Structure 1
Amino acid sequence: MKELKSLIQEIKDRRPRPVYFFHGEEPYFMDVFSDYLEEHLLLEEEKGFNQTILYGKELKVDALVEQLKRFPMMSEYQVVIVKEGQHLARTVDQLQAYIENPLPSTILMVNYKGKKLDKRKKLYKALAKSGFLFESKKLYESEISAWLSRRSKEKGLQCSPKAVALLVEYLGTDLSLIENELEKLRLAIGEGKPVDAQQIETYVGISKDFNNFELKKALGEKDFGKAGTILNYFASNPNAHPMVVTLGFLHTYFSQLSRYHALSDKSAPAVAKALRVNPYFVKEYQIAARHYPLKKLSGILQELRRIDGLSKGVGASGWPARELYKELMLCFTR
């Protein structure tokens, strides 16, 4: 979120806006800004009288407005941060009059998490017009790897492409969780040090040998012995390796291989851009495409959908994890 960096710079330069109203589905970005504002705008000796943290569940808007209209004591600003502001949804419109004429010495931050403010509301229009409204958007899955790679560099870590892939596969799209694990790596390894798969296994707890990333690679190379070993491990640890996650991961991979066959330009840069993968992994797709022609891929994708149905009780019920993983292996070896 480039806008986030710009907003943080405003705080650094002591040019805060009187209102910051964050809404949207991604809590990470609003938490980053809220925490920065809480920590850095006021001096420690100013915070006791001039910084107030409120929670939407326990808050009435009229009481909030009364707080906002107070003047700071021995400080240039007072800071009011409303966390869990989404719980004010029914009464939040009552803020409109204040938003249209905010007190310059009060800095209001509202975290309106998990939902967007209704565009039809007068409050939305007032916030948007004044430049006080900021949408915290969820990143697409295809954007997570690039974001994680940038964030790790900002923390002084040198994550290899494989390390990034492992972290994304294991941590998913939860940016707060990713942030915590990167911080854990920074503290354990130190800034400026390379991060590889072995360190990921040691400090984050992701097996470098038994994961969906290694399963995908083994299947792409038609190393069915290794793939079978990984699937047997998954079957023995179904809670740590949910079938639904593996099926989704493999469906994405084999769908990408189908798109690869349709590309007219199969150069590494073109493939990386079209499939939204790191150029480091393009060779794996080139190898896999030789093993899986389009007709074979069509059959595999159909089987993956069938097994997904079985795992959810469609057409049959009570399939144990081990039997489902056997079915999964058969769809590649038939």
Structure 2
Amino acid sequence: MDEALKIVNDIKKGVVKPIYFLYGEETYFIDKISSYIADNILSEEEKGFNQMVLYGKDVTIDDIVGNAKRYPMMAEKQVVIVKEAQHLSRSIEKLTAYAENPQMTTVLVICYKYGKLDKRKALYKTVKKCGVLFESKKLYENQVSEWLRKTLLSSGYSISHKAAILLVEYLGTDLSKINNELDKLKLALPEKKEITPLDVEQNIGISKDYNNFELKKAIGERNVLKATKIINYFAQNPKDNPFVLTVTLLHTFFSQLLQYHGLRDHSPKNVASSLRINPYFVGEYQTAARNYPMKRVSQIISSLRELDMKGKGVGSGKVEQADLLKELLMKIL
């Protein structure tokens, strides 16, 4: 997050490099940086002749180099953006020759999503000397909430801790997906407002009381009544609460709980760091560990794997989601 912000801030200050090689699993930051360059290096008048977007599946390295070596027309620089450059993975090293002597009036942006550059090879070492290498890594769940908070803060909003956790629990760690939902919230709500779980429920359709976040908490506390109410709600609203998502989140929870039992240091700081969870959740794991001994946790993990297979129709006929949910609760509690 901070590295992406530094790249943007450097460009704002006029520090523009001839090559930006953006790669990695998290597409959100790659898109944000490339979009910023596309929007801000050239004026609207200059873009017509001096800004070009190429696609990796349609071009060769020679095509990219040929365009990059052109001189700008009536402008100080030209911008060449190569999207979907991962399609050139077999020939990407051929870009080394250009990187060794780049056209200084060209800003070449390579968007190499889902892939990695071999740090031992020439292209990585050469671009590192003359340009910017940016690896866009997937954020862990405990990092996404902080990213979400900062993103909203930059737009004049704040968000309650529970609302942030609710969004991450429901949407996962796909930043582009979360950002789309945040845009919906910002359209519906006035600026300088703290976004609450109720706002999330009313504008995104996630129930603030009946969701996987609350189910996990109820199960950890062995609160049978609350867990049963949530399961019944899921059974009545199967499209909004798919079984595969519920069983996956609970499997992750109990796998982390097993890891918790294996820790020698159960201080909140160490637990949050070791399990890669938000410190807000540490208390839930402490409570669950008292309710579920290590041996019982292992049994539950095994049962969840069986239920996951059953939910996918492996080794059995089609089973209704309501029946799967009841069986899940029975085997855990």
The SS at the match of 1:22 is: strand
Q: Is 1:138 the equivalent of 2:142?
A: no
The SS at the match of 1:240 is: coil
Q: Counterparts of 2:317 and 2:32 in 1: how far apart (Å)?
A: 45
Q: Counterparts of 2:260 and 2:126 in 1: how far apart (Å)?
A: 47
1:20 corresponds in structure 2 to 20
- Please provide the CA RMSD for this pair: 2.4
Q: Is 1:53 the equivalent of 2:58?
A: no
Counting only pairs closer than 5 Å after superposition, residues 138-217 of structure 1 correspond to structure 2 as: 138-217=138-217
1:248 corresponds in structure 2 to 248
1:329 corresponds in structure 2 to 329
Give CA-to-partner distance per residue, 1:255-279, whole Å, 9 cap, x none.
3344445555555545444444434
**Structure 2 letter corresponding to 1:191:** E
Which segment is superposed worse, 114-123 or 161-170? 114-123
Native 8 Å contact 1:156 1:186 kept in 2: no
Q: Counterparts of 1:72 and 1:151 in 2: how far apart (Å)?
A: 35
The SS at the match of 1:108 is: strand
1:237 corresponds in structure 2 to 237
Which segment is superposed worse, 109-118 or 267-276? 267-276
Q: Counterparts of 1:256 and 1:132 in 2: how far apart (Å)?
A: 37
2:64 corresponds in structure 1 to 64
The SS at the match of 1:58 is: coil
Which segment is superposed worse, 95-104 or 64-73? 64-73
Which segment is superposed worse, 105-114 or 285-294? 285-294
Give CA-to-partner distance per residue, 1:124-162, whole Å, 9 cap, x none.
342234343322222233432333233333333222121
**Structure 2 letter corresponding to 1:219:** I
Native 8 Å contact 2:141 2:276 kept in 1: no
The CA deviation at 1:41 is 1.3
Distance 1:269 1:205, change over 3 A: same
The CA deviation at 1:35 is 0.5
Native 8 Å contact 2:219 2:227 kept in 1: yes
Give CA-to-partner distance per residue, 1:247-296, whole Å, 9 cap, x none.
12112223334444555555554544444443444444444344334443
> What TM-score do you get using the length of structure 2 for normalisation?
0.89
1:44 corresponds in structure 2 to 44
Aligned length: 333
Q: Percent identity?
A: 53
Give CA-to-partner distance per residue, 1:292-316, whole Å, 9 cap, x none.
3444333323322232232234443
Native 8 Å contact 2:243 2:311 kept in 1: yes
The SS at the match of 2:57 is: helix
Q: Counterparts of 2:214 and 2:80 in 1: how far apart (Å)?
A: 48
Native 8 Å contact 1:30 1:111 kept in 2: yes
**Structure 1 residue ranges without an equivalent (≥5):** none
2:105 corresponds in structure 1 to 105
Distance 1:266 1:92, change over 3 A: closer
Give CA-to-partner distance per residue, 1:5-59, whole Å, 9 cap, x none.
2211121011200011112222111111000001111122222222122222222
Distance 1:69 1:279, change over 3 A: closer
Q: Counterparts of 2:258 and 2:60 in 1: how far apart (Å)?
A: 55
Native 8 Å contact 2:181 2:204 kept in 1: yes
Give CA-to-partner distance per residue, 1:213-244, whole Å, 9 cap, x none.
11112222322222122212323333332222
**Structure 2 letter corresponding to 1:173:** T
The SS at the match of 1:209 is: coil
The SS at the match of 1:127 is: helix
The SS at the match of 1:134 is: strand
Q: Counterparts of 1:126 and 1:114 in 2: how far apart (Å)?
A: 21
The SS at the match of 2:137 is: coil
Native 8 Å contact 1:14 1:41 kept in 2: no
Distance 1:27 1:276, change over 3 A: closer
The SS at the match of 1:72 is: coil
The SS at the match of 1:57 is: coil
Distance 1:297 1:38, change over 3 A: same
Native 8 Å contact 1:79 1:107 kept in 2: yes
1:83 corresponds in structure 2 to 83
Native 8 Å contact 1:85 1:113 kept in 2: yes
Counting only pairs closer than 5 Å after superposition, residues 294-313 of structure 1 correspond to structure 2 as: 294-313=294-313
2:95 corresponds in structure 1 to 95
**Structure 1 letter corresponding to 2:48:** G
Q: Is 1:226 the equivalent of 2:203?
A: no
Q: Counterparts of 2:83 and 2:248 in 1: how far apart (Å)?
A: 34
**Structure 1 letter corresponding to 2:26:** E
